[in-house]
Amino acid sequence: MEEAVSSIFVSFKAGKKVATISKRKATGKNLEKGVLVPRGALSEQSVYGKIKTLAKDFKKNELIKFPLKYLFENSDLIFKKNIKHLVKNRLYAHGFDVKKAIASLKKDPIYLDDKKQIKLEWATCWTEEVVIKYPITSITSKDAVYIVDEKIKEKVIERLSQNGNKERGI
């Protein structure tokens, strides 16, 4: 049982036990023996979570345009529902073989409009971002561009610029 529990818990300290065997007591009576009790924190305190955002080039502050090959290989990540639907239909028509579906685009391109004037050449996609909580005083002007929340990013950049890009003034 201890092996099963130790495979679940994650220890951030090398060589340390993840859990210890203990007894559960109530008013002086031993209720249970062999209870596994976790030792220490079960996760790093700096990890905040994962969020789903549109793939973005943070340095240029613009969305990434993914090519057709990526779209066909990762159709579930496509942001716009109509484009996702068109790509999945093409994959379905070719037995979900990505190479055949992409090859079919030369003879029969995917059009985004009814007049068949706008070809599908790229699209935006979702990506998972790991969000980490940092103390606000540790954020530098170089780090501020990587803040995911746009309103927070604007306020931090504004505050840094008011203080001549010195972190201590936040």
One-letter amino acid for residue 76 of the chain: D
Q: What does pLDDT average to over the chain?
A: 81
pLDDT digits (tens, 9 = 90+) for 44-97: 566 567 888 888 887 787 899 999 999 999 999 999 999 999 999 999 999 999
Give DSSP secondary structure letters for 8-70.
HS--SSTT--SEEEEEEEETTEEEEEEEEEE-S-SS-TTEEEEEEEE-EETTTTEE--EEHHH
Coil/strand/helix, residue 151: helix
- d(C-alpha 156, C-alpha 170), whole Å: 8
**What are the structural domain ranges in the chain?**
2-38, 64-125, 134-169
Tell me, what's the pLDDT at 1? 60
What's the pTM value of the predicted model, to 2 decimals?
A: 0.57
Coil/strand/helix, residue 135: coil
Tell me, what's the pLDDT at 3? 67
Tell me, what's the pLDDT at 110? 95
DSSP state of 109: P
Q: Report CA-CA distances (Å) from 166 to 36, 87, 95.
A: 48, 48, 57
Helix (H) / strand (E) element for 128: namely strand 126-132
Q: Name the more confident of 33 and 156.
A: 156
| Of 133, 144, 147, 130, residue with least CA distance to 51 | 130
Is 119 within 8 Å of 111 (Cβ atoms)? yes
Confidence of residue 18 (pLDDT cuts 50, 70, 90): low
